[in-house]
Amino acid sequence: MIWKPHTTVAAIVEQDGRFLLVEEETADGIRLNQPAGHVENGESLLEAVAREAREETAYRFTPQSLLGIYHWRHPLKDITYLRFAFIGHVDDHQPGLPLDDGIIRTVWMTPDEISTSQARHRSPQVLTCVEHYLAGQHFPLNVVTHL
């Protein structure tokens, strides 16, 4: 059997001290996450993060830097995620666009609100990404090469 991690992307957006998150229905109940999702076949990481952010928030996301690459194995499932988190900004909000299935709404939360809501996070990657962002971690987009 060939083992493969799930390759995902996430949009990290901070505006006026608040971070853009989505509230979503999952098999484990309603959870909070950054706008995020799987990379589709034939899609670059940058295309995937822009698409996922639009589908989940109705905002256009423009990546500006790579926050980091996160490897996480779900403790209760035989699933490993390899998340590429991108820092960027949003604009061109289209509130009439339908959001992806399972997305309840978008929310803007402060770091304290995110920290105190950990029990509702989709994964530990949510808070870790915020902490890394607040610590100033970022890498230029040219570290990501799509051939």
Domains in the chain (CATH in brackets) are: 6-143 (3.90.79.10)
Distance CA 63, CA 132 (A): 16
| Sequence-ordered list of residues with C-beta below 8 angstroms from that of 97, at least 6 positions apart, any chain | 54, 58
Q: What is the model's pLDDT at position 75?
A: 85
> Against a cut of 0.85, is the pTM above it?
yes
> How many C-beta atoms lie closer than 10 Å to residue 60's C-beta?
15
Asked if residue 109 lies in contact with residue 21, where contact means CB atoms within 8 angstroms, the answer is yes
Q: DSSP 3-state assignment of 18?
A: strand
pLDDT tens sequence for the chain (147 residues)? 788 899 999 999 999 999 999 999 998 899 999 999 999 999 999 999 999 999 999 999 999 999 999 999 988 888 999 999 999 999 999 999 999 999 999 999 999 999 999 999 999 999 999 999 999 999 999 999 998
- Count of beta carbons in the 10 Å neighbourhood of residue 114: 22
* C-alpha to C-alpha distance for 15 and 57, rounded to whole angstroms: 15
Continuous segment of H or E residues that includes residue 86: strand 80-91
Kindly state the DSSP code that residue 120 receives in the 8-state scheme. Answer: G
Sort 113 into a burial class: Cβ within 10 Å, 0-12 / 13-18 / 19+.
middle
